[in-house]
Amino acid sequence: MAWSHQDKCAIVGVGSTDYYVRGKSWPRTINDMAAEAIMNACADAGISHKQIDGFSYYSGAGAGYLDKFDTASLMETLGMPHISYSATLTSGGGGCPGAIGLATAGLMNEDCTYSVTLMALQQLPQHRLGVVFGAAAPNPENSFLQPSGLVGPGHLMSVLARRHMHLYGTTQDAFGEVVMATRANTHNRPKAVRKNALTKEEYDASVMLADPLRRLDFCLETDGAVAVITTTMDRAKDCRHKPAVVHACAHGGQREWGRAFAWMGMPDPHFASSGHKFTADRVWAQSGLAAKDMDVALIYDHFSPMVLMQLEDYGFCEKGEGNDYVLSGKLRYDPATGKGVNGGTPVNTHGGNLNEAYIIGMTHIVEGVEQVRGTAINQVKDAEFALVSGGPASLPVSSLILRKD
């Protein structure tokens, strides 16, 4: 059954700051960076910031994982006259593309006319994401994790990765291919943090941080901000660029996944997965499409094994076949043809969280928009549909399909 909001809204503006290595954005502030990203998105859309009357957040309106956005403060910073919609999805980065669905809800209910979704983060020493669990105050839930040495997301993900290796024979070579394939897409990107080509020898020499995950299997720790603006299709046609049509969007998940690696109570086969099967099935049902119909996939890649597991959950390959799918080169983008390799779908043509910047998933939405506009740096030839995912994380995780107008 088609999604009731299908093709009725579109992303019309994208904007960002420069991307900084962790902590290097100081003395800038969260609001300063967020405001710059919003203004850049407005310029991209060809509208005034005073026309924005909605905010559609995710991560509980988080700015990073320890700061929070305040709508009134952003209005004061930007000189916005009024807002009529302010809402957020819960949990963390898993809700990133789902926030576009939240925007469509406000737009279709006529609560707002232009809604902005944004993320900004500044990882000062006391706000470093890599040790966020270890820095949390003990409580009955995280007291199970902290004494085990599981102090950061990478430690937690390593347990899921090892289980996938045990059940399906997945190899570390496949994790390395995820990193190398997406690194190959950053050499020509001005804002990318990691641009140098990566060899297998260099990957293998990367420090083991949480066995089986090496340093290069971890996403970047960066500062910066990204904003995107969503509106209705009738208004979108008056904006500067071709609209990136919101074709389908879903968020949620199954109880068996629940708090995921924040509680480690998932039974098999959910434990060795990305927790995306539920939202994947929903977004395919909403759109009448399947993995084979996607021209490009912007897969949330906070840790390399989670890309492999999402490819399985979305149906790019069968469960347990992610290792061979990845090692066949099917994630790679071929600039000579503008297509994938060996019949695959190019993944993270912008370099992703692993190589370009980690702004908690927002760079994936930007790349999806530019791909269906036809303006991406690593443009997929004749791209019509782009898949964007958010998470794995505690629920909700989310999925978005953007369509060429």
CATH of the domain at 249: 3.40.47.10
SS3 346: coil
- Residue 144's pLDDT is 75
| Mean of per-residue pLDDT scores for the chain | 95
Quick check: is 340 in a domain?
A: yes
Domain count, the chain: 1
Rounded distance, CA 228 to CA 57, Å?
11
Nearest one of 354, 376, 233 to 296, comparing CA atoms: 376
CA torsion 119-123-124-130 (nearest 10°) is 140
Report pLDDT for 140.
79
Query: Is residue 163 in some structural domain?
Result: no
Q: What is the predicted pLDDT for the residue at 134?
A: 67
Q: How many other C-beta atoms are found inside a 10 Å radius of the C-beta of residue 288? A: 13
pLDDT-derived band at 28, boundaries 50, 70, 90: very high
Q: What is the pLDDT of residue 127?
A: 62
Question: Does the pLDDT at position 13 exceed 90?
Answer: yes
Q: What's the domain range around 260?
A: 9-126+219-404
Is residue 197 included in any domain, yes or no?
Answer: no
CA distance 246 to 404: 9
pLDDT at 89 over 70: yes
pLDDT mean over 346-371: 98
- Inside any domain, residue 196: no
- Residues 222-276: pLDDT tens digits? 999 999 999 999 999 999 999 999 999 999 999 999 988 888 889 999 999 999 9
Q: Which residues are catalytic?
A: 300, 358
- Is position 155 within any domain? no
Q: Give pTM, 2 decimals.
A: 0.97
CA distance 247 to 77: 33
Q: Residue 33 domain-assigned? A: yes
Asked if the structure places residue 292 within a domain, the reply is yes
| Alpha-carbon span 272 to 162, nearest angstrom | 8
Condensed to tens digits (0 to 9), the pLDDT of residues 163-199 reads: 999 999 999 999 999 999 999 999 999 999 999 999 9
**Integer Cα distance of 267 and 269 in angstroms:** 6
By CB atoms closer than 10 A (0-12, 13-18, 19+), residue 245 is buried
Nearest to 358 by CA among 262, 261, 225, 228: 225
Tell me the C-alpha distance between 151 and 145, whole Å: 7
pLDDT > 70 fraction of the chain, expressed in percent and rounded? 98
Give the ranges where 169-303 is alpha helix by DSSP (H). 172-183, 200-205, 233-236, 277-287
Is residue 301 pLDDT above 90, yes or no? Answer: yes
Give residue-wise pLDDT tens across range 35-69. Answer: 999 999 999 999 999 999 999 999 999 998 778 99
Does residue 126 register a pLDDT over 90? no
Is there a domain that residue 363 lies in?
yes
Confidence of residue 23 (pLDDT cuts 50, 70, 90): confident
Mean pLDDT of 318-339: 98
Phi then psi dihedrals of residue 195, to 5 deg: -115, -25
- Of 228, 213, 220, nearest to 360 by C-alpha is 220
